[in-house]
A and B are shown apart, each in its own frame.
Chain A
């Protein structure tokens, strides 16, 4: 049994929950009620659909990657072609429309690779909302172009200078800001993590990826793929893709984590940023440092639904090293003329050793933001 009933979508087999200070509980209740009303409201559905099609660029195409994977049917779901260059805009648009319904004028967000920060800055500019993005100073260095893009669109980027100076600390600071300004502020979380109802809201907003992909694959091949592959940081592009296929028992679901940030592969049950999940932590529960060349995967936690899918064996999660990801960027660039984000490249790297002949990969984002890292590491 893999279909997620309403209860499972809250508790994810013992994961999830609301491990946050009391101050936030009424806001989470309000968000949960607001979301429950919005998602069945034809006006909300129509507005989001209108924005996704006329502003973000949905539906995204499906590209057969014949030169990347000769002899196989490997399809790329092209979220990289969306406005702002990654799947993150699907979530940011949905949350912006929701935040306006809740009467919030101020948005806080965290970002790692900067893709969610850019998506948040974009939708805030589009709707005239104040936007504050917390970003680790290490990530600001390695994702410079995204910092400039956020600023150009009027967002304030606040550097986080302590701890790992990456996504983990940026998320903590965004939550602290939200605790302080909860009455005026919506926390626009960037992945399917955090306290309930966030994992479910983000998963539903991203599930458009899997719904479209399923239809397009059926139209192209007349049958469902053998395997679906996506990279996993917090897990939002993967859960969006997986939701299109989770009820098709014949479709294998593979999530690919950075080897140095494999929350599912080498983590243990723990609590981080408001939910219980599989976390990179030590035997005392202290959060361990993650390490990845890809800022968007450099995070010791993961969405609770992925922990549930792993435990229930519906999905499997594999690691990928920095070098393998770099090689995959180069390979897709040279064989297909598509430069993927370093995050996405982790999924692409596992396509090569997947025994299936018919595979769908979520191409979650484009690699423009990674040029500096690519030049440093590939010497181009």
Chain B
């Protein structure tokens, strides 16, 4: 009997996001990533880029994002890991140490920085990403430096829904397993319950972002809760 697979939901930090995060948790999310928007998000496809532009227009600067994080923490309680996902420019401007202090105080569990690969600023503790292009040596480095789990980028590309789970995932999981015992959560391009099941059959957990944002845009918290529940059911059925 293997441990239950983890379900990670990414949402952009916007004024209404704490309520959405609570809905995602009711639907069965184990971990919530909160996107802190950056004007030039290199790792993101159109859906998250547009959500980020909208958030910035709504005034979601770093301070407001930290407030959003604190309100989310209050709504979801102490046990759900909350993980801001952002870009180095935001931390550079706020101050890496000051960000760590203030975000921890606001309820941050860990951090993801999309454009800080392993070895760049090793002092900043964070969840490291590995990609299909990563060499075994880099997977080892990322595993050494990461905070709790490894984020497997399923494909060479930016965030965004795809028609199928990348065929590159299997090989990446296999290589990572040979190197580390850490939990491996796969993200990028996962959007349907079928994708979720296929990716979770390989990895220890999955991350869903772009599609979660779209569902929340279209139908608000109830739609998001139902969508997350459908992902939960798919991976629990494994």
Contacts and interface: CB of A to CB of B under 8 A. Distances in A.
A283 interface: yes
Interface residues of A, number: 38
A43 to B, nearest CB: 28
Contacts of B61: 284, 286
Contact of B158 (A162, A168, A179, A272): A179
A6 to B, nearest CB: 18
Interface in A336-378: none
A251 to B, nearest CB: 33
Interface in A284-301: 284-287
A24 B142 CA distance: 14
Given A20-B42, A25-B117, A172-B40, A283 B158 contact: no
Contact of A179 (B42, B89, B94): B42
Q: Is the interface of B mostly helix, strand, loop or mixed?
A: loop
Q: Is the interface of A mostly helix, strand, loop or mixed?
A: mixed
Interface stretch (A104-112, A119-127, A273-281): A273-281
A17 interface: yes
Interface string B45-62: 100010001001000011
Interface stretch (B103-111, B128-136, B173-181, B212-220): B128-136
Nearest to B128: A22
Given A25-B117, A284-B93, A285-B94, A182 B133 contact: yes
B186 interface: no
A117 B229 CA distance: 48
Contacts of B129: 21-22
Contact of B156 (A163, A183, A284): A183
B138 A26 contact: yes
B120 interface: yes
B40 A287 contact: yes
A21 B42 contact: yes
Interface string A168-190: 10001001100111110000000
Contacts of B117: 18, 20-22, 25
Contacts of A181: 156
Nearest to A26: B133
Contacts of A183: 133, 156
A274 B10 CA distance: 23
A180 B142 CA distance: 21
B33 to A, nearest CB: 15
Interface string B115-139: 1111010000000111111110010
Contacts of B115: 19-21, 271, 274
B42 A281 contact: no
A25 B138 CA distance: 9
A270 B89 contact: yes
Contacts of A21: 42-43, 114-115, 117, 129, 131, 153
A23 interface: yes
Nearest to A268: B93
Given A176-B158, A273-B42, A285 B90 contact: yes
Nearest to B63: A284
Contacts of A273: 40, 42
B79 interface: no
A69 interface: no
B223 to A, nearest CB: 26
B101 interface: no
Nearest to A286: B39
Given A285-B93, A287-B89, A175 B138 contact: no
A299 to B, nearest CB: 12
Interface in B84-113: 87-94
Contact of A285 (B43, B92, B120): B92
B142 A22 contact: yes
A97 B53 CA distance: 39
Nearest to B157: A180
B42 A18 contact: no
Chain A CB within 10 A, most for which of B43, B62, B142? B43
Chain B CB within 10 A, most for which of A25, A172, A183, A270? A25
Interface in B130-168: 130-135, 138, 142, 153, 156-158
Interface of B: 38-40, 42-43, 45, 49, 53, 56, 61-62, 87-94, 114-118, 120, 128-135, 138, 142, 153, 156-158
20 contacts: A17-B120, A18-B117, A21-B115, A21-B129, A22-B118, A22-B134, A24-B133, A162-B53, A163-B39, A163-B53, A175-B42, A179-B42, A179-B43, A269-B92, A270-B89, A272-B40, A281-B89, A281-B93, A285-B38, A285-B62
Shortest 4 CB-CB contacts between residues of A and residues of B: A285-B93, A285-B89, A23-B131, A271-B89
Interface of A: 17-27, 162-163, 168, 172, 175-176, 179-183, 268-274, 276, 279, 281-287
Given A19-B88, A175-B42, A285-B89, 7 more contacts: A22-B142, A162-B49, A172-B40, A272-B40, A272-B89, A273-B40, A286-B39
